């Protein structure tokens, strides 16, 4: 999959302000720049996009904004000074561990190889979400499951257990009330995260390492490791980006495709039925999420829409053949 381009035309900054939790995003089609609204914008409310990398600390964003807009510039958005400031508090705590770029690569490489989905599911079935607090260190696998259970429990349990039946509405996190619900759950997840002494998984070194490894594992065709990397980044991006943001929508499709390829890979080498079932449930969930995200964000005329519809068709056909649809 090709990367989605990032950038804005210079004139944009004259009419569109900045926010680290923007209510709009920029899309391009054949050289034409368009603004996509990510939430309801009230009359008189400024339209905002992110002019700096959202996946960064508050200090980094502040410095980048001053370099772009002048030394007197200050951002007062919900991420910098509101309810989502706790995301930066948790990220700053992770950064205090001092992980280097190499540390991040070693950490993520190790865990995308050893990540045991079955162990995580057993833990989820045996304990309540708040019982993670005695843990002293949250590595990437535990982090992904820990945060998902608090921030998006319906999606989490649908992805691991087909006994917990779901409706189409569950996937529509893009409805106004569901977006507001997610916005309330993120601070709760971050508050729980702050109770864990060390969270090397929530550091920029780990995040950037995962982004590099994702590209590498895709090129190598190592789909099980790719899917683990994609799942970790999906959890990260849901904390950082608004639900309708093109970056998150595009990544959800990457997660869905890597999940499907991982399922095929595991079926070929042979794995126990429970693990195969969990991956099948997860893939179904990611495909539905990607379908809704691509539909709302990029539209049905985009090549990404054709990609996700084809993926869903292949998945449903193969599951019917196996008699598990």
User: How crowded is the C-beta side of 12, counted as CA atoms within 13 Å?
Assistant: 20
Residue 269: other Cβ atoms inside 10 A: 7
CA distances to 38, 58, 157, 244, 299 from 241, rounded to whole Å, are 10, 15, 22, 8, 19
pLDDT of residue 5: 43
Residue 133: other Cβ atoms inside 10 A: 10
Q: How far apart are the first and last CA of the chain?
A: 27
pLDDT of residue 324: 53
CA–CA distance, 246 with 138 (Å, rounded to integer): 29
- Between CA 46 and CA 211, with CA 65 as vertex, the angle to 5 degrees is 100
Instruction: Cite the DSSP H helix spans in 221-302.
Output: 223-240, 246-269, 273-297
255 contacts: CB under 8 Å, gap ≥ 6: 227, 230, 231, 233, 234, 286, 290
Q: What is the pTM of this model?
A: 0.89
pLDDT of residue 199: 96
pLDDT of residue 152: 77
pLDDT of residue 149: 84
Residue 21: other Cβ atoms inside 10 A: 23
b/e per residue, 70-104, with b = 16+ CB within 10 A?
Answer: eeeeebebebbeeebbbbbebbebbbeeebeeebb
What residue segments make up the domains of the chain, in order of their start? 83-321
CATH code for the domain defined by 83-321? 1.25.40
DSSP string, 288-314: HHHHHHHHHHT-TTSHHHHHHHHHHHH
pLDDT of residue 135: 78
CA–CA distance, 208 with 221 (Å, rounded to integer): 20
Give the pLDDT of the chain (325 residues) as one tens digit per residue: 444 444 566 667 778 899 999 999 998 887 788 889 998 888 999 999 999 999 999 999 999 999 999 999 999 999 999 999 999 999 999 999 999 999 999 999 999 999 887 777 666 555 555 555 567 889 999 999 889 888 877 776 666 665 554 555 555 555 665 667 778 899 999 999 999 999 999 999 999 999 999 999 999 999 999 999 999 999 999 999 999 999 999 999 999 999 999 999 887 776 667 777 888 888 999 999 999 999 999 999 999 999 999 999 999 998 888 775 4
């Amino acid at each position: 999959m090709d990367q989605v381009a990032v950038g804005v035309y210079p004139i944009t900054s004259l009419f569109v302000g900045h926010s680290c939790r923007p209510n709009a995003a920029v899309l391009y089609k054949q050289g034409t720049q368009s603004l996509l609204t990510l939430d309801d914008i009230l009359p008189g409310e400024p339209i905002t996009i992110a002019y700096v990398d959202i996946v960064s600390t508050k200090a980094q964003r502040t410095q980048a904004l001053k370099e772009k807009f002048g030394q007197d510039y200050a951002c007062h958005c919900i991420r910098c000074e509101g309810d989502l400031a706790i995301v930066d508090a948790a990220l700053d705590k992770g950064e205090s561990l001092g992980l280097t770029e190499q540390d991040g690569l070693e950490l993520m490489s190790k865990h995308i190889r050893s990540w045991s989905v079955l162990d995580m599911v057993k833990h989820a079935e045996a304990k309540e979400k708040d019982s993670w607090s005695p843990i002293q260190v949250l590595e990437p696998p535990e982090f992904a499951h820990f945060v998902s259970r608090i921030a998006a429990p319906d999606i989490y349990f649908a992805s691991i257990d087909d006994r917990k039946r779901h409706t189409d509405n569950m996937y529509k996190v893009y409805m106004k009330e569901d977006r507001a619900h997610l916005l309330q759950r993120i601070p709760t997840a971050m508050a729980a995260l702050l109770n864990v002494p060390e969270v090397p998984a929530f550091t920029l070194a780990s995040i950037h390492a995962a982004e590099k490894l994702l590209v590498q594992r895709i090129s190598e065709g190592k789909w099980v490791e790719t899917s683990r990397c994609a799942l970790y980044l999906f959890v990260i991006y849901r904390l950082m980006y608004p639900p309708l943001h093109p970056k998150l929508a595009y990544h959800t499709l990457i997660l869905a495709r890597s999940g499907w390829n991982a399922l095929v890979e595991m079926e070929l080498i042979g794995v126990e039925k429970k693990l195969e079932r969990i991956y099948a449930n997860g893939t179904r969930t990611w495909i539905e999420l990607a379908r809704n995200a691509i539909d709302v964000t990029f539209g049905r005329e985009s090549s990404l829409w054709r990609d996700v519809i084809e993926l869903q068709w292949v998945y449903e056909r193969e599951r019917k053949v196996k008699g598990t649809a």
